[in-house]
Amino acid sequence: MYDNLFFIIVPYAVTIMAIVVTAQRYFKKPFTYSSLSSQFLESGELFYGSVSWHIGILAVFYGHLIGLLFPRQVLWLNGVPARLYLLESSGLLFGLLSLAGLVNLIIRRHTSARIRAVTSKMDIVVLLLLLTQVALGVYVAIFYRWGSSWYATSLVPYLRSLFLLQPDLATLAPLPLAIKLHVMNAWLLIAVFPFSRLVHMLVVPIPYLWRPYQVVIWNWNRRKIRGVAARPKPRPVATALPLSDELKPTNRPVTTR
Amino acid sequence: MDVRLQISMVFHLDKCIGCHTCSVACKNVWTDRKGAEYMWWNNVETKPGTGYPTKWEDQEKYKGGWERKNGQPELKMGGRVLRVLNVFHNPYMPKLDDYYEPWTYKYEDLLNAPEGADQPTARPISMVTGQHIDIEAGPNWDDDLGGSPVYAANDPNFSALTEEQQAELFEIERLVFFYLPRICNHCLNAGCVAACPSGAIYKRGEDGIVLINQEVCRGWRMCVTACPYKKTFYNWSTGKSEKCILCFPRLETGQAPACFHSCVGRIRYLGGLLYDADKMLDAMNAQDYNLVEAQRDLILDPFDPEVREGALRNGIDDATLEAVRRSPVYKYVKEWKLALPLHPEFRTLPMLFYVPPLLPVMANTDAGTYDTANDELFAPIEKARLPMQYLAKLFSGGNVGEVSYALKKQYAVRLFKRLETVGDMDAATVKQALHEVGMTEGEAEAIYRLTSLPTMDERFVIPPSHREEAMQMLGDDFLLDRGEAGLGLRDRPARGA
């Protein structure tokens, strides 16, 4: 009964909500998308907290993602004990790294008066959820070993069943409480995602790597206007006529050099 | 030839009295907001001094601007991969304490304090934390402190001077300072634009104003480091970066920016410049001593028919060309070579130019005797209190020739007018002074008039923005369009959750 609620109803509800709200926020309130960095107010402690947290959690996150997308390959990889030990221990190491970073960030947020001034209630909720999640993850990694392998057989089928809209709790139900809590808390994190600063992970500036350095934006194409300015043009009716891309005011660079 | 228009500026330092009216005008209009209290898009510094933020010119500390790497300009803070990796923690980011912690006073204590033996006081409280603070710094903490061993002595530009020259500047009889008002330079090769991982910072094609799209900025903070002038600021409350917008809503309606309009000494000039974007790479790659010349080469002659053709081809109309022909900036920078860019060696091609100040010797000490008398009415610039190398470090990438030419020319104008109005000069001396800088009497008169007697319309020649055409093209509700122009958010700019 509770399993159905926590592992089927809640996941669908929070996922749909997260997608809708995140998109709505992105398009309607783009101003609220920011890393909300507090480095300007406190930089020293942030280095240890933020860098280790982000490196640790990114490695762990992509580890989970790869395990989910390529379970067979991971199982094959783990077929040789040496490779299994390497994968497990590095997973644990990154988990501990992110945990250390997170604890550092929480202490910093608590002790620095300047940082407290820019801390919202949602920040505290997010930090506590993340702490729970990472702590449970590290606990599971230590006490229920070889997760990189059993993940493929216990959790991947469950997640895939959700994705295929044929929820099946058969492989999840017998799992120990700590693992179930880890999964449940993950859904909670997805629930708060669109309402928190976590959305900054969606706007990581990867396109910067190939963008031209200088960005020049013309609000309107003057060559075009002046070229046809010889005869007066009727004023287009508001919103009724879609403007061609060339003439639209744009947030994207029109010409760059 | 790729002709583009840049709204450009000249500050005449000889006329600046350091009153900070510009700073206050800007503060009142734009940065009197939470998270922006510490920002001074316009500030006035005392030179020699450490400035705001402290020692901003020291790029070994702040890593701002560009440097040449393998013949190509690259940001001093590193390549683009590094920038993406450094979003977690930017190692060169200036901190609040590099500027100052903004404060107010607890005025209500003056009224509400219980009766006691002591007079109640209004204690300072931080505008960040709301707690009591001891004020240790402010935006112009070294105001007028030329010669101070705490501030002036730490001026990064002293690296251009010998020990002896530095020591002289701190002799009590020779103490000297001048004011350096600073706003965003709206650079052609802006470091902030290049460093922005989100692509939120851009140059407006129409007039060259550099803006930060507040809805695209994600607070990665790279612009704060990349701007060598430290004129992009991080709003710690909204989590967005902000900068001087050259009061574009005023410019678009034909008014000068607030800091220009309010300038008491009337030191500020604003007008259009046409430049050749095809030559930009050469200008940013020039040798240090040649940077001023290379930047001047970018600027095109608006009277040249070929330039006119190129301008029309690029959609710059005759009304704008006419404004550029009357531009005071064109005269000061290109025709007269009087105005120089600030720290061209940062290689951002700044488009705010400064007429360097004449600081004549008023007195000297000789073997312990203090002598206020001077054998000449206007001491020649070789005897100026500030060593030429110092000004060259500020305004010409170390090229003393550029600074000395600008000063000699100003000096010659003074002699010329003295002869004309008072007549107690030797005509041959004046002629020699004019000849030395290759200046005709007509040019001297023109410089005199634009320096001393300019009307508001001569100081600010604002090219028409032709917003009416933009409106026509957008074909949209007039009020809504304002939001598309960059500012004018439709929601309250509240901090994201």
Q: pLDDT truncated to tens, each residue of chain A (257 aa)?
A: 788 899 999 999 999 999 999 999 999 899 999 999 999 999 999 999 999 999 999 999 999 999 999 999 999 999 899 999 999 999 999 999 999 999 999 999 999 999 999 999 999 999 999 999 999 999 999 999 998 899 999 999 999 999 999 999 999 999 999 999 999 999 999 999 999 999 999 999 999 999 999 999 887 665 555 554 433 444 443 333 333 444 444 444 444 44
Which member of B83, B89, B199 has the closest CB to residue A50?
A: B89
User: Among B19-23, B209-213, B281-285, B343-347, which stretch is predicted with the lowest mean pLDDT?
Assistant: B281-285
Which member of B93, B473, B497 has the closest CB to residue A247?
A: B473
Q: Say how many domains are in chain A.
A: 2
Task: Based on the fold, state whether residues A108 and A155 are members of the same structural domain.
Answer: yes
In this structure, what CATH number is given to the domain that contains residue A29?
1.20.950.20
Domain boundary pick from A167, A186, A204: A204
Residues 207-226 of A with CB under 8 A from B: 207-209, 211, 213-226
Predicted local distance difference test score (pLDDT) of residue A242: 36
Predicted local distance difference test score (pLDDT) of residue B327: 97
* B461: amino acid identity, one letter: V
CA distance B67 to chain A (A): 15
| Closest alpha carbon within chain B to A202 | B218
- B348-363: pLDDT as tens digits: 999 999 999 987 655 5
Decide if A226 and B317 are in contact by the 8 Å CB cutoff: yes
Domain membership of residue A131 as a residue range: 2-204
Cα–Cα distance measured from residue A126 to residue A198, given in angstroms and rounded to the nearest whole number: 8
Domain boundary pick from A160, A185, A204: A204
Predicted local distance difference test score (pLDDT) of residue B368: 62
Decide if B236 and A118 are in contact by the 8 Å CB cutoff: yes
User: Which secondary structure element, helix H or strand E, spans residue B7, and what is its range?
Assistant: strand B3-12
Which member of A40, A215, A225 has the closest CB to residue B199?
A: A215
Residue in this structure with the two tokens 């531009």, named with its chain if needed: B327
| Closest alpha carbon within chain A to B130 | A117
User: The complex's ipTM?
Assistant: 0.89
Best mutation target, A22, A120, A122, A208, to test chain B (most B CBs within 10 A): A208
Residues 52-111 of A with CB under 8 A from B: 54-55
Cα–Cα distance measured from residue A151 to residue A61, given in angstroms and rounded to the nearest whole number: 14
Predicted local distance difference test score (pLDDT) of residue B367: 62
Question: Which residues in chain A touch residue B491, judged by CB atoms under 8 angstroms apart?
Answer: 29, 31
CA distance A178 to chain B (A): 30
Q: What's the number of CA atoms in the CB half-sphere (13 Å) around residue A181? A: 15
- Cis preceding-peptide flag for B181 (omega within 30 of 0): no
Which member of B95, B203, B493 has the closest CB to residue A43?
A: B95
| Beta-bridge partner residues of B12 | B355
Decide if B205 and A217 are in contact by the 8 Å CB cutoff: yes
Decide if B129 and A117 are in contact by the 8 Å CB cutoff: yes
| Closest alpha carbon within chain A to B466 | A222
Examine the pLDDT at B236 and tell me if it is beyond 70. yes
Confidence of residue B485 (pLDDT cuts 50, 70, 90): very low
CA distance B195 to chain A (A): 7
Decide if B239 and A257 are in contact by the 8 Å CB cutoff: no
CA distance B284 to chain A (A): 13
Best mutation target, A24, A25, A29, A31, to test chain B (most B CBs within 10 A): A31
Cα–Cα distances in angstroms (integers) from residue B445 to residues B113, B380, B402, in the given order: 63, 20, 21
Task: Based on the fold, state whether residues A222 and A199 are members of the same structural domain.
Answer: no
Confidence of residue B264 (pLDDT cuts 50, 70, 90): very high
Decide if B491 and A50 are in contact by the 8 Å CB cutoff: no
Give yes or no for a contact between A49 and B87, defined as CB atoms under 8 angstroms apart: no
Q: How many CB pairs under 8 A join A and B?
A: 198
Confidence of residue B16 (pLDDT cuts 50, 70, 90): very high
Decide if A200 and B218 are in contact by the 8 Å CB cutoff: yes
Task: Based on the fold, state whether residues A127 and A214 are members of the same structural domain.
Answer: no
CA distance B215 to chain A (A): 4
Looking at the complex, does the CB of residue A112 fall below 8 Å from at least one CB of chain B? no
Task: Based on the fold, state whether residues A228 and A180 are members of the same structural domain.
Answer: no
Examine the pLDDT at B374 and tell me if it is beyond 90. no
Task: Based on the fold, state whether residues A80 and A95 are members of the same structural domain.
Answer: yes
Average pLDDT in chain B: 90
Give yes or no for a contact between B484 and B471, defined as CB atoms under 8 angstroms apart: no
Looking at the complex, does the CB of residue A116 fall below 8 Å from at least one CB of chain B? yes
Decide if B485 and A36 are in contact by the 8 Å CB cutoff: no
Which member of A42, A207, A209 has the closest CB to residue B81?
A: A209
Task: Based on the fold, state whether residues A144 and A79 are members of the same structural domain.
Answer: yes
Decide if A39 and B240 are in contact by the 8 Å CB cutoff: no
User: Which secondary structure element, helix H or strand E, spans residue B202, and what is its range?
Assistant: strand B201-204
Decide if A205 and B218 are in contact by the 8 Å CB cutoff: yes
Cα–Cα distance measured from residue A158 to residue A168, given in angstroms and rounded to the nearest whole number: 6
Decide if A43 and B473 are in contact by the 8 Å CB cutoff: no
Predicted local distance difference test score (pLDDT) of residue B366: 63
Examine the pLDDT at B369 and tell me if it is beyond 70. no
CA distance A107 to chain B (A): 17
Confidence of residue B473 (pLDDT cuts 50, 70, 90): low
Task: Based on the fold, state whether residues A33 and A135 are members of the same structural domain.
Answer: yes
Task: Based on the fold, state whether residues A198 and A220 are members of the same structural domain.
Answer: no
Task: Based on the fold, state whether residues A124 and A248 are members of the same structural domain.
Answer: no
User: Among A179-183, B249-253, B449-453, B479-483, which stretch is predicted with the lowest mean pLDDT?
Assistant: B479-483
Task: Based on the fold, state whether residues A215 and A200 are members of the same structural domain.
Answer: no
Task: For chain B, give the percent of residues with pLDDT over 70.
Answer: 91
Find the distance separating the first CA and the last CA of chain A, reported in whole Å: 61
Decide if A29 and B491 are in contact by the 8 Å CB cutoff: yes
| Closest alpha carbon within chain A to B94 | A40
Task: Based on the fold, state whether residues A222 and A155 are members of the same structural domain.
Answer: no
Q: What's the number of CA atoms in the CB half-sphere (13 Å) around residue A51? A: 12
Provide φ and ψ at B72, rounded to 5°: -120, 145
| Closest alpha carbon within chain B to A43 | B95
Cα–Cα distance measured from residue B2 to residue B111, given in angstroms and rounded to the nearest whole number: 64
Residues B95-123 as b or e (16 or more Cβ within 10 Å = b): ebebbbbbbeebeeeeeeeeeeeeeeeee
Decide if B84 and A205 are in contact by the 8 Å CB cutoff: yes
Domain boundary pick from A204, A231, A249: A204
Cα–Cα distance measured from residue B334 to residue B442, given in angstroms and rounded to the nearest whole number: 17
Which member of A208, A224, A249 has the closest CB to residue B474?
A: A249
Which member of A32, A40, A220 has the closest CB to residue B93?
A: A40
Decide if B474 and A220 are in contact by the 8 Å CB cutoff: yes
Task: Based on the fold, state whether residues A216 and A199 are members of the same structural domain.
Answer: no
